[in-house]
A and B are shown apart, each in its own frame.
Chain A
Amino acid sequence: MSNDILNDLAYRKPITLRVYFKNIYDAIRTTLKGMSITIKYVYGVKPVTLEYPEVREELPANSRSRLFNDVENCISCMQCSAACPVDCIYISAVRREKEAPALKTKNGQAIRLDLTQYTIDTALCCYCGLCTTVCPTECLTHTQDYEFSQYTLDNMKYDYLDPQVRTWRNRLIKN
């Protein structure tokens, strides 16, 4: 069986002496031509490596990295949760009483619902950006933060109502 397969191989053609030496000449010529291109890269090209973590690249302003929600401006419309393709946003809200003081967002919309739960599971999130486009008050935005890995999966669930989030929020809002 192996003899049949060997006979079928396309490159088992007989080689004359002239072709043999021409092959050697071609091989040396083309290899030297290739080397002349690569030699230029030794001293002729500036290195493009960024020495991370000492040098960090500046990401563009509309970069889709870590999500941030400014809950003081959220009107609990739940559009972001409906738009999410992987269902990673969990929201619950309670209607405010009529006697409570009226609150407004920064665009001037009245807040009628009190947010009781706003959790995003960033491990499930696919960073598609669909939730940020449907937010009417633009409180849900993408930031440029990309270094947020954690040791456990539970730490990847961001509860945006947590008071400890305020330090992060204050840092972002100052920028």
Chain B
Amino acid sequence: MHSLNEEKLKTELLTVNMGPQHPATHGVLRVEIKTDGEIVAQAIPHLGYLHRCMEKHSENLDYRGVIPFCDRMDYLASMSMELGYVLAVEKMLGTEVPRRAQYIRTLVCELQRIASHLMFFGTYAIDLGAFSPFLYAFQDREIILRIFEELSGVRLLYNYIWIGGVWNDINDDQLKRIKEFCITMSESLKKYHSLVGENKIFIERTRSIGVITKDLAFEYGATGPLLRGAGVKWDLRKDRTYSIYNEFDFDIPVGSGEKGTLGDCWDRYYVRMQEMHESIKIIQQCLDGIEEGAIIGKVPKNIKLPKGEIYQRTECPRGELGYHLISDGNKKPYRLKVKSSCFTHVSMLPDIAPGLMIADLVASIGSVDIVLGEVDR
């Protein structure tokens, strides 16, 4: 009799738009979900709502003018974006960057990594319904932003890392404040982890959800915390060092499947929290070892790169960023292609979504930590 009732009932999939305007998609991302009740059967991402043709613009600008455009890609981690491009240009030019500038660059990039992961922490908690960690994270982030404001003049899109060095110098007062910040931040991080990460409700919502296994990550080319959460110990700062990262002593946290499956959302969250601890370690070593000297090297007024191409990879808070720069000997880049990690991560959504409920889909998208500025460029 039960089967007779089911024969008469017709069911079909419902198409729902998790539209461009949504508080939980971290930007203008449109995900077309075909659901069966509450369970997702298929999820198709549609991009392009924030496309600003940065690659086409950069063909009309000289090499220094591209740096403000690079900032605006991942606006929550601007320093890391600039660093990749500047390293690519410097490698082709063959300029030597002074030691003090390299220390300042590392300092600033690691501070930026902490700020970006704090933003992830705050917004991930708010996606799952917890309102307090958002403001705590922003209070700590405010200290970092204030230091950046004194260094470069603005709070978000800095244009600070230049070809050959950095723009302004850092003085002792700011170094002292960074040192105090490191001490208070270590304490606060432990507090935040026990507030959010150890909470049973958070664990039940994120364990075994959105599992990305090692093979899936390699198939898609996922990098950054996604790959490390799946158990692969791969970090560009150690394996293909650039700048002066080989002089610092730090660890690479990997996910271990502690609370659920290996490679689930909790692992990725935990990897990011541990990375903040490691960044604090690097900053403390940087502060101890910073040298005196010039802050910008000798770069010609009109920069003309020799003919050729280069692919430079750096480790950004969200993954690996790659700049493929092709030049033909003029003052303007002939082709600048940006390989953004978030673009490849969004392409993984159709593979991790089926079988989840819609609330779990929100948790998965949040743990992938996308910024649409980088996806669409």
Which A residues fall within an 8 A CB radius of B?
Answer: 1-2, 5-6, 8-11, 23, 26-27, 29-31, 33-34, 37-38, 41, 48, 59-60, 62-64, 83-85, 126-130, 133, 142
Contact = CB atoms under 8 A, between A and B. Distances in A.
B154 A8 contact: no
B154 A1 contact: no
B159 A129 contact: yes
A33 B190 CA distance: 13
A33 B154 contact: no
Interface string B272-292: 000000000000000000000
A2 B39 contact: yes
A34 B195 contact: yes
B351 interface: no
B208 A1 contact: no
Contact of A126 (B39, B68, B153): B68
Contacts of A41: 132, 136
B201 interface: yes
Contacts of A37: 191, 194-195
B159 A30 contact: no
Contacts of B157: 126-128
Contact of A11 (B61, B69, B168, B208): B208
Contacts of A29: 200
Given A33-B194, A128-B68, A130-B159, 19 more contacts: A2-B36, A2-B39, A5-B39, A9-B356, A11-B208, A30-B199, A31-B201, A34-B194, A34-B195, A37-B191, A38-B132, A60-B150, A63-B149, A63-B153, A63-B154, A64-B154, A128-B159, A130-B64, A130-B68
B326 to A, nearest CB: 20
Interface in B53-72: 61, 64-69
Contacts of A85: 61, 65-66, 68-69
B42 to A, nearest CB: 11
19 contacts: A1-B11, A1-B41, A2-B11, A9-B39, A9-B356, A23-B200, A29-B200, A31-B199, A34-B194, A37-B191, A37-B194, A37-B195, A63-B149, A64-B152, A85-B61, A127-B157, A128-B67, A130-B64, A130-B65
Contacts of B61: 85
Given A62-B168, A63-B153, A38 B261 contact: no
Contacts of B159: 128-130
B354 A83 contact: no
Contacts of B142: 48
A26 to B, nearest CB: 5
A48 B135 CA distance: 11
B64 A27 contact: no
B192 to A, nearest CB: 9
B154 to A, nearest CB: 5
Interface string B145-168: 000011011100101000000011
Contacts of B200: 23, 26-27, 29-31
Residue from B61, B153, B196, B260 having most chain A Cβ neighbours under 10 A: B153
Residue from B68, B152, B201 having most chain A Cβ neighbours under 10 A: B68
B243 to A, nearest CB: 23
A6 B38 CA distance: 11
Contact of B64 (A5, A10, A63, A83): A83
B2 to A, nearest CB: 13
A129 B355 contact: no
